[in-house]
Amino acid sequence: MPAKPLASPYAGIVPVLAIVLVVIAGFSIRFGAVEIAFGDMVSALRKAWSAPDSLQLTERIFLEIRLPRALACILVGASLAMGGVLMQALFRNPIVEPGLVGTSSGAAFGASLYFVLGAALKFHAGEWTLPIAACLGGAAATALVFLVSATTTANRESTTGLLLIGIAVNALFLSGIGFFSYIARDPQARSITFWNLGTLSGASWRGVLLLGVSTSAGLVVALRHARQLNALMMGEDEALYLGVNVGRLKLTIIAVNVMIVAVATSITGIISFVGLIVPHLLRLMKGSDNRFLLIGGVFVGAILLTLADIVARLVLKPAELPIGIVTAAVGAPVFIALLRGRRYQF
């Protein structure tokens, strides 16, 4: 009897998500203090190549503000979702998000340090200073979590221990941020506040470039390890029997997570819940193959954050709300609803 071919449940979903993303991003760019017609977008793109001097005002708004903002939003959403997929796979736990191992709070701490003491520290790398400070903070906090857990937990592989230490280190760095915003002068304090709430208003082409590099490099490395992460779903012993070098896999995945999350946080500040919810949504849709979760996560993360950005600009129009407030306000109830209807255990 010829057996039925093993049908992949994942076929066909990525093109649909890609189309949805392009449409939503188009509307996000169009909408704002100045409405930009789709025709102007096309002509601006054409002129940017051939005749950059003849750009109209709306075309310049599109090219210099709206487009980099939309792209940054897409890349940050993608990075956070990928970070969520990677951390959940690594910890075999669906309630983990990239910030739990300290990366986001560390990056925000690095940024606040720069806002308050940047001038005094004589640490200058031009426009790159803030991203560098944030990345260093994120890496330092993550390293601290892993060093402490490696030396305190009896079983170094203990996920619960790692998560608890992550909570402690997060609290420590958040108190540091609180300290800086308390001693800060008014404009500095406002920068720190914005950072902790997450905002896309500072997006620039420089940020888009940085995000583009980190997101695509992170995605390539993550995809190469997707199948090993699948094997890890059955536990570390089973992964080892399938030929996975578990120690090296963990280090690689944590390094990728630190890079993509710290860079994203360095551009926008802390944006919560995206990394937590996107993998859930995808698993509910189709299944848990990490290749699918990573690729699908890039699109769904980008779509959700773009929608959140539209909401953030609508609520207090013409002023705008920090996007992290929107993701948390929408994300928390969605998350609770997912937990109540959960199909899997943890």
DSSP 54: G
Using CA atoms, how far residue 197 sits from 114, 166, 265, 307, 322, in Å, is 17, 20, 11, 17, 6
Q: Alpha helices of 157-273 — where are they, by DSSP H?
A: 159-183, 186-197, 205-224, 226-232, 236-241, 246-268
| The only residue of 19, 38, 238, 251 in contact with other proteins, by rule CB under 8 A | 238
Contact status: 167 vs other proteins (CB under 8 A): no
Cβ 134 vs Cβ 107: under 8 Å? yes
Interaction residues for other proteins, span 177-236 (CB under 8 A): 227-228, 230-231, 233-235
| The only residue of 242, 251, 315, 339 in contact with other proteins, by rule CB under 8 A | 242
- Whole-number minimum distance, CB 117 to other proteins, in Å? 43
Contact status: 266 vs other proteins (CB under 8 A): no
| The only residue of 12, 39, 126, 243 in contact with other proteins, by rule CB under 8 A | 243
Contact status: 344 vs other proteins (CB under 8 A): yes
Contact status: 154 vs other proteins (CB under 8 A): no
Nearest residue (CB) to other proteins, 230 versus 306: 230
Residue 157: CB atoms within 10 Å? 13
Nearest residue (CB) to other proteins, 72 versus 219: 219
> Whose CA is closest to 195, among 209, 180, 206?
180
Q: For residue 89, with 0-12 CB atoms within 10 Å meaning exposed, 13-18 middle and 19 or more buried, which class applies?
A: buried
- Whole-number minimum distance, CB 6 to other proteins, in Å? 5
Contact status: 93 vs other proteins (CB under 8 A): yes
Contact status: 251 vs other proteins (CB under 8 A): no
Widest CA span in the chain: 77
| The only residue of 126, 237, 318, 333 in contact with other proteins, by rule CB under 8 A | 237
> Whose CA is closest to 210, among 251, 248, 162, 259?
259
Using CA atoms, how far residue 52 sits from 30, 56, 69, 268, in Å, is 21, 10, 20, 29
Exposure b/e, 228-257, CB count within 10 A at least 16 = b: bbbbbeeebeebeeeebebeebbebbbebb
| The only residue of 68, 77, 94, 296 in contact with other proteins, by rule CB under 8 A | 94
Q: C-alpha angle 68/306/313, rounded to 5°?
A: 85
What is the residue-wise DSSP string for 90-151?
Answer: HHT-TT--GGGGTHHHHHHHHHHHHHHHHHHHT--BTBTHHHHHHHHHHHHHHHHHHHHHHH
Contact status: 122 vs other proteins (CB under 8 A): no
Nearest residue (CB) to other proteins, 79 versus 228: 228
Which helix (H) or strand (E) element contains residue 15?
helix 13-30
Instruction: Give the per-residue contact string, 15-54, with other proteins (x = CB under 8 A; - = no).
Output: ----------------------------------------
Contact status: 250 vs other proteins (CB under 8 A): no
| The only residue of 38, 179, 245, 314 in contact with other proteins, by rule CB under 8 A | 245
Contact status: 346 vs other proteins (CB under 8 A): yes
Instruction: Give the per-residue contact string, 278-317, with other proteins (x = CB under 8 A; - = no).
Output: -----x---xxx----------------------------
Cβ 80 vs Cβ 274: under 8 Å? yes
Instruction: Give the number of residues in contact with other proteins, rule: CB under 8 A.
Output: 32
- Whole-number minimum distance, CB 297 to other proteins, in Å? 14
Piece in contact with other proteins (CB under 8 A), picked from 49-57, 133-141, 207-215, 241-249: 241-249
Provide the β-strand partners of residue 127.
Answer: 125
Chain contacts with other proteins (rule: CB under 8 A): 3-7, 9, 92-94, 227-228, 230-231, 233-235, 237-238, 240-245, 283, 287-289, 343-346
